[in-house]
A and B are shown apart, each in its own frame.
Chain A
Amino acid sequence: MSRLRTAALVGNPNSGKSALFNALTGARQKIANYAGVTVERKAGRMVLPTGEPVELIDLPGSYSLDAASPDEEVTRRVIMGEFPGEAIPDVLVIVLDAANLEQHLVFAQELAELRRPVVIALNMVDLAERDGLVLDPDALSRALGVPVVPTVAVRRRGLDALAGAIAEAKPAGGESQPAATPDPASMAERRLSARRIAEKAIVSETAQHRLHARLDRVLLHPWAGPPILFALLFVMFQAVFAWATPFADALDAGFSGLIDLTNASLPESIARDLLTEGVLAGVGSVLVFLPQIVILFFFILLMEQSGYMARAAFIMDRMMASVGLSGRSFIPLLSSFACAIPGIMATRAIADPKDRLTTILIAPLMTCSARLPVYAVIIAAFIPATTIGWGVGLQGLVLFGLYVAGILGAMVAALVLRRTVTKGSAGGFIMEMPKYQMPTLRDLALGLWQRAYIFLRRAGTIIFTVTVVLWALLSFPQAGPGETQSEVSVAGRIASGLEVVVKPIGFNHEISLALIPAMAAREVAVSALATTYAIDAEDEDEAAEGLIPKLQAGWTLPTALAFLAWFVFAPQCISTIAVAKRETNGWKWPLFMLAYLFGLAYIFAGITYWSAVALGL
């Protein structure tokens, strides 16, 4: 049996390549990494008019075969058949932005010169028409000697014709002569002939006021732009917390119900405890964050697909530059407010390796949604619900202060890291601003599903395993008569050892015990504290209710404040560490991240505790 033929989508960034990929393959996509590098490999299957199925891969956007980033290097190696384990593509589908021909034809010529079967998708012809451009695809086809198919990926126009052209693709041959290696001279030549070919292909051009120039005048305005961005972010965070609550509550109730049902229908046994206390409680406590993550990604995808994200990066660049990063780091850090895991994965878009590493290292300092339950319980127990004027409540102010502390911590950490461990030439900021576009429901839904799937798969594997291990540590050996489980278990003994270390910063035995399961996920600290205080809690909310008086009785205010300071910094999330390991290809950086964040947590909890004691709080 002959192997499946492959076709590769290749083109400049912002040529609408991904939208075309989605339109051609639908939801039948496989997203993975290229072996050994953290560049996303997107593959899917499409069926040609002949009935033959082909594997379609979406190569990272590139400006040239002369790679300037890890992404572009992957594109070059796959096209040249130099990537181990990747079949050399049988057909290259070059995607061109119809409204930016003189730029996109430079790379297209370089690809056509390879003399391989090539098809050109003249994409986004509708937007070109909106800009007053009328194009002649046949003239373009004659000049390049390859078939040209006009497409509008987001409106699913021209897809059948493109599939037909892929089926019949033959090696390219036309005006352009084969070149050896790309050197500046031939690049300049290509640029000249790109302009010539574009002129031939453009039938008419009216100087219209382009929409994106008008929008940019407002959104990139030096004084109006930043407030607009901050207002948008404010709405986004409001939505993440407000819209998600009913869904999160429903999920929470669902898991509680499932636990009750399991307890009622199975006889009491170790296996049942494992299922309820370990698997359901553990995985459930993480799955309740799915609604928040989906809502956050809804906004992020909306910003990406509309073209606004590049503008946000532009506006934030100056601020990020002051700590040695660039505007490109803004997007991953923004995602980290929901969860550091998608944030760390989003750092792939940062070309500079030092910038990227620094961003990964500081991402856990952004206050993720898992910290909220912890903050909420401690604030409710120890901060009086008074107003300090202008309708500002003290509790809300403390919560806001904790968010700010995380951001400031991240900025200072970036500044220090950039001058020490991730030292190197300051990464610049060169970024093409895509045209504004109406996002399509289909692409949004597909993107959301892919993000949710990654999160669910993680919950089903890493979090599942960790939860089971922690449950075992807390359950064995079983307490005999007159002993308490929390003292006798392996975890209890580890906690006694840990207590020696954390006593100087005001932490007691109960906190020490809670810190261990909280390694899996921060919010587990709440239910762990509840368990330790021997409360029979059904869920976290109920645990919190019963927990507050116990905390007020058992903890001093300095201890509570130190506990909050600890959670601003502590990297208590094994999944984040695992993702950092995968994205940095080794244990070195995740271990460094653990060490420096625990160090900061210890120091700041200590400072908080001793200052509070000295002030007589």
Chain B
Amino acid sequence: MTLDRLPAQRSAEIVAIDWAALAPDEAKRLRAMGIDEGAHVSVAHRGVFATKDPIAITIGRMTVAVRRAHARAMMVSEL
């Protein structure tokens, strides 16, 4: 399952990230925030109105907004 499909408020582990799908600076930024393989994340908020974009994910004590396209590049498995 990719992160953009993870139901809200459920914890999951990032098992793989398709780094090639991300711009180099974005990949660097995500890694620096700890959004990397092995990290535990959950989806806090998803989109405005009927869109599912952007997504606010919780990692540790941080909330980070990412685009759906970023989340789609991340494979997660529910914990």
**Beta-carbon contacts under 8 Å, A320-358 to B:** 321, 327, 351
Q: Does B1 sit at the interface, judged by CB under 8 A?
A: no
Using known A-B contacts A63-B33, A433-B65, determine if residue A103 contacts B60 with beta carbons closer than 8 Å.
Answer: yes
Chain B residues whose C-beta falls within 8 Å of the C-beta of A430 in the assembled complex: 26, 29-30, 33, 64-67, 70
**Other-chain contact of A317, B22, B29, B32, B53 (Cβ < 8 Å):** B53
Residue pair B66, A429 in contact (C-beta under 8 Å): yes
Question: Does B4 lie at the interface of the complex (its beta carbon under 8 Å from any beta carbon of A)?
Answer: no
Chain B interface mostly helix, strand, loop or mixed? mixed
Of the candidates A226, A315, A351, A432, which one forms a contact with B25 in the assembled complex, judged by CB atoms under 8 Å apart?
A351
Choice from B32, B48, B49 contacting A64 with Cβ under 8 Å: B32
Structural contact, A425 and B48, CB atoms closer than 8 A: no
Residue of A with least CB distance to B54: A317
Shortest distance from the beta carbon of A559 to any chain B beta carbon, whole Å: 42
- Nearest A residue (CB) for B38: A188
Contact A318 B61 (CB under 8 A): no
Contacts of A317 in B (CB 8 A): 53-54, 65, 67
| Bound complex: CA A430 to CA B45 (Å) | 14
- Report B46 CB to chain A, min CB distance, Å: 7
Query: What residues of A have a CB within 8 angstroms of the CB of B64 in the complex?
Result: 430-433
A546 located at the interface, meaning its Cβ lies under 8 Å from any Cβ of chain B in the complex: no
Known contacts A68-B29, A103-B34, A428-B26; is A223 also within 8 Å of B62 by CB?
no
* Bound Cα distance A69, B32 (Å): 12
B20 interface residue (CB < 8 Å to A) = no
In B2-49, the 8 Å CB interface with A consists of: 22-23, 25-26, 28-34, 36, 44-49
B56 within 8 A of A: yes
Do residues B34 and A226 form an inter-chain contact, with CB atoms below 8 A?
Answer: no
Report if A102 contacts B (CB, 8 A): yes
Which residues from chain A contact B32 at a C-beta distance below 8 Å?
Answer: 63-64, 66, 68, 106-107, 187
Given contact pairs A66-B32, A222-B46, A317-B54, A310 touches B60 in the complex (Cβ within 8 A)? no
The smallest C-beta distance from B60 to any residue of chain A, in angstroms, reads 5
Which residues from B are CB-within-8-Å of A425?
Answer: 23
With CB as the reference atom, state the residue of chain A lying closest to B30. Answer: A430
B50, B56, B59: which contacts A220 (Cβ < 8 A)? B56
| Complex contacts, B63 vs chain A, CB 8 Å | 212, 216, 432-433
Cα of A188 to Cα of B54 in the assembled complex, Å: 27
Q: Is the CB of B62 within 8 A of A103?
A: yes
The chain B residue sitting closest to A187, CB to CB, is B31
* Docked CA distance A278–B28 (Å): 53
Question: Which residues of the partner chain B approach A184 to less than 8 Å between Cβ atoms?
Answer: 31
Chain A residues closer than 8 Å to B45, beta-carbon distance: 216, 220-222, 314
A158 on the B face (CB < 8 A): no
User: Cβ of B48 and Cβ of A216 under 8 Å apart?
Assistant: no
Query: Is A99 among interface residues, defined by CB-CB distance under 8 A?
Result: yes
Complex interface: chain A residues within 8 A of B66 (CB): 428-430
- A327–B22 Cα distance when bound, in Å, is 18
Q: Are B48 and A315 in contact (CB under 8 A)?
A: yes
Contact with B along A295-328 (1 / 0, CB 8 A): 0000000000000001001110110010000010
**Distance (Å) between the CB of A319 and the closest chain B CB?**
8
Within 8 A of B (CB), among A169-200: 184, 187-188, 191
Closest Cβ of chain B to A604, distance in Å, is 31
User: Using Cβ atoms and an 8 Å threshold, which residues of chain B touch A428?
Assistant: 22-23, 26, 66-67, 69-70
Bound Cα distance from A317 to B65, whole angstroms: 10
Q: For the complex, is A439 an interface residue (Cβ under 8 Å from B)?
A: no
Extra A-B contacts (10), CB below 8 Å, given A99-B61, A318-B48 = A69-B29, A100-B61, A103-B61, A213-B44, A216-B44, A220-B44, A314-B65, A351-B25, A429-B54, A429-B65
For the complex of A and B, the 6 pairs showing the least CB-CB separation, nearest first, are A63-B32, A433-B63, A68-B28, A220-B45, A64-B32, A431-B65
Can you list 13 residue pairs at the A/B interface with Cβ under 8 Å? A63-B33, A187-B32, A213-B44, A220-B45, A222-B50, A314-B48, A314-B54, A315-B48, A318-B51, A321-B67, A428-B66, A430-B29, A433-B65
